[in-house]
Structure 1
Amino acid sequence: MFEIGQVIYHLSKTNSKPLDKYELEKYKDKKFVQSQFDEITKEVPAFKKIFHVFVDERDRCLAFSLQECVRSGK
């Protein structure tokens, strides 16, 4: 429960303004994205767990969908 509280608090205090073109370009750089992820997980370690749950689940769903496409010949 504490970790969920941390995540909700962090999400509620972040600024959700739209990104401009320059800011959006920064997110194409893997090192920048990794540094942002590292910074967030230092502040809120629960983000790392949540991130991996979502990414792993997404990867499983995509893999299953690809396997189904191959099986059905689409």
Structure 2
Amino acid sequence: MEAPKGMVGTFKAIAWLWEEYPKGCTMVAKGDMLSCVIPQLLPNAPYTVAVETCKEENDCVLYSDCVDFVWTKPSGKT
């Protein structure tokens, strides 16, 4: 995600699978891009992924333009 100009607060990426509790990470700036890796997602599974913007730790709002449905990659493990 491209970092907004004059960014104040933090952005969090969240992913959830059906009724599972959401998993997430706090995004960090790398140049003009924000990114992070959400750990412990199941391989080859459909997740809803979204971005939240937070003024403070528990004061977050869903960034509605950044909601998508994605599949994780197969793990490659046997």
The structure in which a higher percent of residues are helix is: 1
State which structure, 1 or 2, has the greater radius of gyration over its C-alpha atoms.
1
Q: Report TM bin, short chain.
A: under 0.3
Task: Compute the TM-score of the two structures, normalised by the length of structure 1.
Answer: 0.23
Higher normalized strand content (fraction of residues): 2
TM score, norm. by length of structure 2? 0.22
